[in-house]
Structure formats: structure tokens, C-alpha cells
A = this chain, B = another copy of it.
Amino acid sequence: MKSYRLVSREVKNEKTLVRVKDAVFGGRKVVVIAGPCAVESREQLLAAASRVSQAGAVMLRGGTFKTRTSPYSFQGLGEEGLKILAEASLETGLATITEVVDQASLELALEYVDMLQIGARNMHNSSLLCMVGRSGKPVLLKRGLSATVEEWLLAAEYIVAAGNDNVVLCERGIRTFEHVTRNTLDLSIVPLVQELSHLPVIVDPSHATGDRHLVVPMSRAAVAAGADGLILEVHPQPERALCDGFQSLSTDEFDCLMPGLRAIAATVGRVA
């Protein structure tokens, strides 16, 4: 018997659709979320939002409460960033997502954004999982740095068991001995998790590879493997980004990426 229940195909065979404004995760359309690692300023975010919207993204990402490895790294704009996200949403019609890290950031985020993100570093934070579960808001649950598939599905189980079945899983690379890429993107588990669970599964090639040059081929590979969506770091000026610039696509690069993704989506019976 498997340790997870509610998220299992054995309990519910039909694929779950998670709706966030116009975006539907788990349907025919490959959902593309794009935007900068962190909200840095009004200008930066509005520029990014406008461009990714035109190119075909349906959701806008932007971190305002960052879980940084070092206490000396940029920790995010907090509520000010959330307001900028809300404004960008109003201007472009894009749904928004931001990471929450504790009760305080969750309470703020609930007022301003359409979807909550649990980052890899908090996947095992069961207290936070219960809180976002009780909130009822759609949740993007990233796989932990070295979480097994079973632990990841059990983390989703915490959220669903708290009453919230609007959960989308996100593969973002795992930690291995190989250090030429930031993490090792474990794409095989996309079709595997889709077999085990009814929850949608998307892919984050930006954090997985840590290298903008690899984001384009891995985005294509993710769509070909059947991913239900992508979350991509896109910055108007990656070379000036306050975090993770080396793995961000420029808005021009994002423009070029989208037509190719549509072509591949078509070969696997999807649209992008």
C-alpha cells in the first residue's frame, strides 16, 4: 500500500484541473508561467509582465519573500513587492504567483496574489503545508532539493488533507554529485508522477539547470515529455538582476522560445 492516498490515482483516477483565473493546469494547454526571480522594482516587473504576456505566458511569477541560503543575500521587497505584482496583474490580466515562507508572508500573499508557491527549501515544512492547505488558495508545490517522489507526494497530501485540492507539482531539479549544472533536472519523473497522481505536474528548467543556455532545450524537452506547464525566469535585463540573473532568459529570448514550444506541444497533442 502506498503511504499517500488523496493525491493518488488509486483514490481518484480522473486528472485534477487546477484553475487560476484563465489558466487551467492539467488540461490540454501547457501553462507557461514567466517572470523575474524577484520583484525588484515597479519598472522591472511591469516591463517583464507586459513582454511575457504578449509572448504567450498566462501567469506572472515574482518573488517577494525569498528563502535565501545566506542571510546576506537580497531577501525580497515584502508587501511592496506584492502590490507591484497586483498592479502588473491588473495591467496585463496575467494571474500571479509568489512564494510564501511562513504565516506572516502567507497572510499578506493571500490578499494580493492568485497562487501560492512553496519553495523547494520548505517542501518538508509541514506546518507551512498545513497553513496553505487551510487557505484554500491554489498552490504550486516544488519538489525538495533531495526529496524522493514519495516524500513529494506526501507533502502534497498534507495540503490536500487540510482541505485544499488545488495543488500543482513542480519538478525543479534534484541535488546530485554533478555540479556542472546547478541541479539535475529529473524529467523522467514527470510521466511517472502523472501515472501515480492525478495532480498536474510542471517543470522549472531555470532553477534546475542554473544556466540560461540550457533553459531553451530543457523547456522543449519538458513539453515533449508531457509536462502540464513550465515556470521560467524571465528578466528585462538579466545582467542586472538582483538574483539568479545567469539563469534568467531575457524578454527577447522568451519571445523566441514560445513558437518552438507550440510546435512541440502540437506533436504530443497539446497546445502551448
Contacts and interface: CB of A to CB of B under 8 A. Distances in A.
Interface in A147-197: 148-151, 154, 157-158, 161, 174-181, 184-192, 195
Contacts of A121: 124-126
A218 B187 contact: yes
Contacts of A150: 180
A238 to B, nearest CB: 18
Contact of A184 (B103, B125, B181, B188): B188
Nearest to A211: B192
Given A68-B126, A267-B263, A174 B185 contact: no
B178 A149 contact: yes
A189 B213 CA distance: 11
Given A127-B101, A268-B220, A178 B174 contact: yes
Contacts of A267: 220, 260, 263-264, 267
A70 B181 contact: no
A54 interface: no
A179 B149 CA distance: 9
A258 interface: no
Contacts of A180: 148-150, 189, 192
A176 B187 contact: no
B187 A221 contact: yes
Max chain B C-beta neighbours (<10 A), residue from A150, A184, A190, A222: A184
Interface in A73-115: 101-105
